C-alpha cells in the first residue's frame, strides 16, 4: 500500500540524552504541531533531523535513536555539527531567512554555506529515496529543503512530489539578488504542486519563475518541457479543537491545579482589577517586530498617560538561534528597551512590561491566552503567525481583542481583528485604545466570526486540501500519458514507418528542431541536424518537408546545401528541392503600411520587442521583454489588431512569444494538405510546437501521426517533451529506413 513521506528539517519529536539515556518529547512549533495529527492518523513516514548532532550521540546510542524514531513512524537523519553550522545556521538562516523576510541588510552570500546547503539537501533526498516505493506521495517542507524536490525528480521522474513553503516568498526585485536564484527555483520546480500560505507569496514565486527562468506561466500553472507544475495558496490552520478544549479544561481546573504562572497572573488581576493585560508571544526574531512593538507601547503610554497602572504588557520571547550575531544583538536591544521603559514608567505597585525570555510548556501558554484581554502581534514580516489563531481559539467566552500586523499571512483570513501597520506607532497606539474601549458585544461578534472560520479551516483541512490537490496533479499527468510517445508507441510508429510504401514528414523548425533563442537569427541548424534531414530525405519513398513561419530568405539560406523541400511564412512560399521559391497563394501586402505603425507603437512602449517584416506578413516578437509586461502588451496588441484588420481578410496568429499578422487564406494546414493531392502516401507524420501547427494537425487525415512538442492543449494525437526528444524520434526514423 502506498504511503506519504513527509520531509522537514526537524522531526516532530525532540530527542535528548539525560544521564546516558534517551529522552523523547514532542516538538513544539507550527509545522510539528500542525502535521502531528495528519502524520499520526495516516500511513506516513516522517524524515528529519532529531535535534542532536552526530558528535552529540554516543556510538552505542545511535541505533536507539533510530529505534525511538521508528516507534513514532519517523526516520532520524543524522547531521554533523559542521553540516548544521553551514546548512542550517549558515545558508538557511543567514541567507534564505533574512532575504525571504526582506531583511536584505542581514543577508549573507557565502559559497561555503551554499555548498553545505546543497550537500545536506542531497543527504535528505538520498534518505527519501531509500524509503520511496512506487506509488508513494512525497511532501517536502520549507525553506531549508528548497533543492530536495528536483534532487528526487532527477532520480525518480515518475514520483508525485509536493513542496510547501512556510515562510514568505519575496517579490522578484528582492529574490533576484540571490546569487543562486536559478538553482533554488529549479530545485523547487521539481515538485508537482508548490504551496504557499497566501496568494501574495504565490504571485511573487510565479513572477520570479517567469522572469528569471522564462518558463511559460498561465494563471497558476508553470509549463515545463516534460510536465506542468501547479502553484497554489493553502493558508495553514491550527488544531482548533486542541486549543479550545485546553481552554475549557483550564477554566474547570481547581485552585490546587493552577500553575505558578496562573497564580502570579491572578495576583496581578486582584491587585489591579481594572487593569488590562496585553499579550505578546513570539520567537525572538528580528522579523517579529518585537523592538518596534515595545516602542509603540511606549508611544501609547506617553500619549495616553491615563492608562498608566491600568495596562500591563505580558511579553514572552522564546529563545531562537542564539549563536547567530543578529539574534544576540536583538536580545541585547530588547533587554535594554524593557529595562528603560520599566524604569521610565514604573510605580511602587506597577511595572508596564512583564518580560519572559524562555520557552513555556503548553499549559502555561493556555494560561496566558485565556487570561490576557488583548493580544498584540506585530511582526514586520511573517509567513502565517499561528499564535494569532491559537489566541482566538482559546477565547471560549468570545471576549478579547486581537491586534494583528497586516504583514502576517494570517491577516488575510482574520479581517475581524484590528489590522495595523507595525511600522506606524500612531496606528498601533490607536488600535490599543480601541481595544481597551471596545464593548464586549463587539468583541463577541468579531470573535464568533473568527472562530467559525478557524474551526472550519483547521490544520487537518489544510493538510487534506494540499494532499487532495497533490494527488490531482497525478491524475492530470495521467491524462497526458494517453498521447505521450512512450517506448511502446514509438515502436508502433516505427513499425508503420517500415511497412509504408510511401511516406511524408512535415517538420516545423523553431521550437521543434531547435530551441527558441532571444535573437531569431541565432537559431541556425547545426551540421548534425542537417545531416539527419539529408539522410531522411535521401530515401526514394520518403519526402521530408520543413514547414516554418520563417521568412523564405532565412530558411532558404540555412538549408541551401541540403536537398529538402521548404515551406516558409506558414505556407505563403514553397521551394521544391533544388528549385526556386514560388508563391503558393495569391496574397497581397499593401495592408502592411497601415498596420506597421500600430506595431511600431507597441515596440516603442515595450522594451525588448521588435518587428520582423516578411514578404507577406508582419511579426511582433516579445521573447526578450519582461514576461508579465510582454503578455499584457501581447493581449492588448492582439485586440487592437483584430479590430483593425477585421474586414481585410487577415488574421492574427499567436505563436510562442510572437504575434504574426498574415492573410487568413494561408496557414500550415492548407499548405500541408496541398502536398497530399494526387499522392498516395500511406504514412503521414507531422510535428510542431505552437498554435500555428494546430492548423496542420487539424487538416491532415485522421490516420496521420501528429505530434505536439511540449505539454500543451493540442489537436495532435501524441506529444514529446522537447527538442531533444524530437531529434531522437527523427533518428529512429533514419535508423528504420
Catalytic machinery residues: 508
d(CA 209, CA 189): 9
How many Cβ atoms from other residues are within 10 Å of residue 648's Cβ? 15
Residues 642-645: contacts with CB under 8 Å, at least 24 apart: 644/594, 644/595, 644/598, 645/591, 645/595
- Burial, 702: exposed, middle or buried (Cβ in 10 Å; 0-12, 13-18, 19+)? exposed
d(CA 72, CA 538): 66
Task: Please give the grid coordinates belonging to residue 319.
Answer: 529563545
d(CA 704, CA 681): 10
CA distance to 144, 202, 250, 615, per residue, from 572 (Å): 55, 44, 82, 9
Distance in angstroms between the alpha carbons of the first and the last residue of the chain: 46
Residues 262-265: contacts with CB under 8 Å, at least 24 apart: 262/367, 262/371, 265/314, 265/367, 265/368, 265/371
Radius of gyration of the chain, Cα coordinates, nearest whole angstrom = 32
CA distance to 316, 386, 402, 735, per residue, from 405 (Å): 17, 13, 10, 66
CA distance to 137, 207, 274, 466, per residue, from 141 (Å): 13, 21, 45, 12
The distance of Cα 520 from the centroid of its chain, to the nearest Å, equals 31
Interior/surface letters 440-471, b for 16+ CB within 10 angstroms, e for the rest: eeebeebbeebbebbbebbbbebbebbbebbe
Task: Give φ, ψ of 531 to 5 degrees.
Answer: -65, -35
What are the residues whose beta carbons fall under 8 Å from the beta carbon of 479, sequence distance 6 or more? none
CA distance to 158, 302, 587, per residue, from 590 (Å): 53, 77, 10
Residue 457: in which H helix or E strand, if any? none
How many Cβ atoms from other residues are within 10 Å of residue 475's Cβ? 8
Cα angle, residue 126 at apex, residues 122 and 128 outer, rounded to 5°: 115
d(CA 621, CA 606): 11
Task: Please give the grid coordinates belonging to residue 69.
Answer: 524514531
Amino acid at each position: 500500500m502506498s504511503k506519504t513521506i513527509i520531509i522537514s528539517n526537524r522531526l516532530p519529536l525532540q530527542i535528548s540524552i539525560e544521564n546516558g539515556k534517551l529522552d523523547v518529547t514532542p516538538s513544539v512549533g507550527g509545522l510539528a504541531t500542525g502535521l502531528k495529527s495528519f502524520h499520526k492518523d495516516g500511513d506516513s513516514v516522517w524524515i528529519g533531523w532529531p535535534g542532536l548532532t552526530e558528535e552529540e550521540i554516543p556510538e552505542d546510542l545511535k541505533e536507539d535513536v533510530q529505534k525511538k524514531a521508528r516507534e513514532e513512524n519517523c526516520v532520524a537523519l543524522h547531521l554533523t555539527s559542521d553540516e548544521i553550522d553551514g546548512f542550517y545556521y549558515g545558508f538557511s538562516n543567514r541567507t534564505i531567512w533574512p532575504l525571504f523576510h526582506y531583511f536584505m541588510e542581514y543577508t549573507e552570500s557565502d559559497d561555503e554555506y551554499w555548498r553545505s546547503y546543497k550537500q545536506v539537501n542531497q543527504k535528505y533526498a538520498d534518505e527519501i529515496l531509500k524509503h520511496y516505493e512506487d506509488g508513494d506521495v512525497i511532501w517536502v517542507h520549507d525553506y531549508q529543503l528548497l533543492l530536495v524536490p528536483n534532487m528526487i525528480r532527477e532520480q525518480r521522474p515518475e514520483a508525485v512530489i509536493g513542496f510547501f513553503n512556510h515562510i514568505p516568498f519575496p517579490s522578484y526585485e528582492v529574490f533576484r539578488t540571490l546569487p543562486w536564484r536559478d538553482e533554488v527555483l529549479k530545485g523547487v520546480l521539481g515538485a508537482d504542486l508548490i504551496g504557499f500560505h497566501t496568494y501574495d507569496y504565490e504571485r511573487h514565486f510565479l513572477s520570479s519563475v517567469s522572469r528569471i527562468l522564462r518558463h511559460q506561466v498561465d494563471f497558476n500553472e508553470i509549463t515545463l518541457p516534460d510536465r506542468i507544475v501547479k502553484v497554489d495558496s493553502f493558508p495553514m490552520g491550527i488544531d482548533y479543537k486542541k486549543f479550545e478544549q485546553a481552554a475549557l479544561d483550564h477554566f474547570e481546573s481547581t485552585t490546587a491545579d493552577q500553575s505558578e504562572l496562573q497564580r502570579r497572573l491572578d495576583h496581578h488581576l486582584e491587585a489591579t482589577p481594572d487593569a488590562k493585560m496585553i499579550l505578546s508571544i513570539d520567537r525572538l526574531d528580528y522579523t517579529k517586530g518585537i523592538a518596534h512593538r515595545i516602542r509603540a507601547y511606549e508611544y501609547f503610554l506617553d500619549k495616553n498617560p491615563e492608562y498608566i497602572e491600568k495596562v500591563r504588557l505580558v511579553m514572552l520571547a522564546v529563545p531562537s538561534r542564539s549563536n547567530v550575531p543578529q539574534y544576540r544583538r536583538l536580545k541585547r536591544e530588547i533587554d535594554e528597551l524593557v529595562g528603560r521603559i520599566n524604569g521610565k514608567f514604573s510605580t511602587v505597585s506597577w511595572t508596564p512590561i512583564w518580560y519572559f525570555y524562555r520557552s513555556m510548556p503548553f499549559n502555561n501558554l493556555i494560561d496566558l491566552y485565556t487570561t490576557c484581554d488583548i493580544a498584540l502581534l506585530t511582526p514586520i514580516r511573517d509567513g502565517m503567525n499561528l499564535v494569532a489563531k491559537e489566541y482566538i481559539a482559546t477565547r471560549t467566552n468570545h471576549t478579547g481583542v486581537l491586534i494583528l500586523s497586516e504583514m502576517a499571512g494570517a491577516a488575510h483570513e482574520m479581517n475581524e481583528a484590528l489590522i495595523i501597520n507595525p511600522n506606524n506607532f500612531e496606528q498601533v497606539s490607536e488600535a490599543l485604545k480601541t481595544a481597551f474601549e471596545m464593548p464586549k458585544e463587539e468583541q463577541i461578534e468579531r470573535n464568533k466570526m473568527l472562530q467559525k472560520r478557524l474551526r472550519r479551516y483547521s490544520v487537518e483541512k489544510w493538510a487534506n486540501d494540499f494532499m487532495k490537490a497533490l494527488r490531482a496533479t497525478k491524475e492530470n499527468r495521467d491524462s497526458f500519458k494517453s498521447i505521450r510517445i512512450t517506448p511502446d508507441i514509438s515502436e508502433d510508429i516505427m513499425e508503420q514507418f517500415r511497412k509504408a510504401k510511401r511516406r511524408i514528414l512535415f517538420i516545423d523548425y523553431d521550437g521543434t528542431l531547435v530551441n527558441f533563442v532571444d535573437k531569431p537569427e541565432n537559431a541556425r541548424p547545426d551540421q548534425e541536424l542537417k545531416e539527419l534531414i539529408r539522410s531522411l530525405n535521401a530515401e526514394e519513398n520518403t519526402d521530408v518537408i520543413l514547414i516554418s513561419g520563417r521568412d523564405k530568405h532565412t530558411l532558404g539560406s540555412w538549408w541551401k546545401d541540403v536537398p529538402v523541400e521548404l515551406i516558409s511564412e506558414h505556407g505563403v512560399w514553397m521551394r521544391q528541392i533544388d528549385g526556386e521559391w514560388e508563391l503558393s497563394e495569391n496574397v497581397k501586402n499593401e495592408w502592411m503600411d497601415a498596420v506597421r505603425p500600430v506595431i511600431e507603437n507597441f515596440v516603442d512602449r515595450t522594451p525588448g520587442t521588435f518587428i520582423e517584416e516578411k514578404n507577406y506578413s508582419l511579426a511582433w516578437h516579445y521573447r526578450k521583454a519582461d514576461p508579465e509586461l510582454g503578455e499584457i502588451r501581447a493581449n492588448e496588441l492582439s485586440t487592437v489588431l483584430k479590430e483593425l484588420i477585421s474586414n481585410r481578410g487577415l488574421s492574427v496568429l499567436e505563436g510562442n512569444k510572437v504575434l504574426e499578422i498574415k492573410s487568413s487564406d494561408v496557414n500550415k494546414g492548407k499548405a500541408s494538405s496541398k502536398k497530399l493531392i494526387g499522392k498516395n502516401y500511406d504514412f503521414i507524420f507531422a510535428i510542431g510546437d505552437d498554435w500555428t501547427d494546430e492548423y496542420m494537425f487539424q487538416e491532415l487525415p485522421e490516420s496521420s501521426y501528429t505530434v505536439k512538442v511540449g505539454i500543451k492543449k493540442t489537436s495532435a494525437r501524441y506529444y514529446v517533451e522537447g527538442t531533444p526528444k524530437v531529434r531522437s524520434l527523427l533518428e529512429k526514423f533514419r535508423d528504420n529506413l
